[in-house]
Structure 1
């Protein structure tokens, strides 16, 4: 697949809505959360299901599709809310430098390959160096307590 933003298909939108409903009820895989972020232009709150990566003692969000709306909004807002059932967690997001991304992107793809491999030219299990070329096109955020 090309290393550019890939728009959601109708099937993707259907499954995201379905997963969003499941997350609101608390029924979904343990690594999934419903991300809430305020729109940088509209101020409206947007939601989307995301996979949260636990790696090296930290929590991460990776925009597998590339420069997504949620990533641009999170960057502008500086914080997000992650929901699962009745639990909500307000977190500060810190985008990391391109040089620090390959290891996190590799861990993300290795962990969630069945769901996100189609968005990457690099195959799951590849060495860290193979992810350097894609790092500048993938927003990666560290999640930190606060806000």
Structure 2
């Protein structure tokens, strides 16, 4: 399930993410954004990053479009995280999906946010054949989250 795929954000994207994080913390969710807070695996400090929370068939998912990001590694180490919009923060645990479970989630994620994350999928879009989504699945960690 672990992959070494990681796309580091550019300075422009880091600035944009900072703006989205700020708006989301003020209570203005941008296209379903949340601020993900996870304890750093080395520092123990709370690290925050904006994420897209995907509702799908009554469940909620986090997809790491950039691959093995710091938040993915920290979440795996911490075992839990928190999602914030405005003053509302929910703590959650998770189940990481196996690669064979990911295609339907990746397709839904791309349908909803292709305009924002499509560049991270190397030309694969929501209309891609099932086999293509299975092929790329190992490079995209996906977590089903369970809020408390």
TM-score normalised according to structure 1 size: 0.92
Query: What is residue 43 of structure 2 aligned with on the other side?
Result: 42
C-alpha distance after superposition, 1:93-141 (max 9, x if no partner) = 1111111111111111111000000000212322333211111111100
134, 138, 141: which one aligns with 1:139:
141
Instruction: Name the stretch that deviates more: 25-34 or 107-116.
Output: 25-34
C-alpha distance after superposition, 1:57-85 (max 9, x if no partner) = 10000000011110111111111100000
Do the aligned partners of 2:23 and 2:30 also contact (CA within 8 Å) in 1?
A: no
Instruction: Name the stretch that deviates more: 120-129 or 90-99.
Output: 120-129
Please, what is the CA RMSD of the aligned residues?
1.4
**1:116 counterpart = 2:121:** no
Divergent runs of 4+, >4 A: none
Q: Secondary structure at the match of 1:64?
A: coil
Q: Secondary structure at the match of 1:52?
A: strand
Matches within 5 A, 1:1-147: 4-29=5-30, 31-121=32-122, 122-146=124-148
TM-score normalised according to structure 2 size: 0.92
What is the rounded CA distance, in whole Å, between the counterparts of 1:134 and 1:44 in structure 2?
Answer: 32
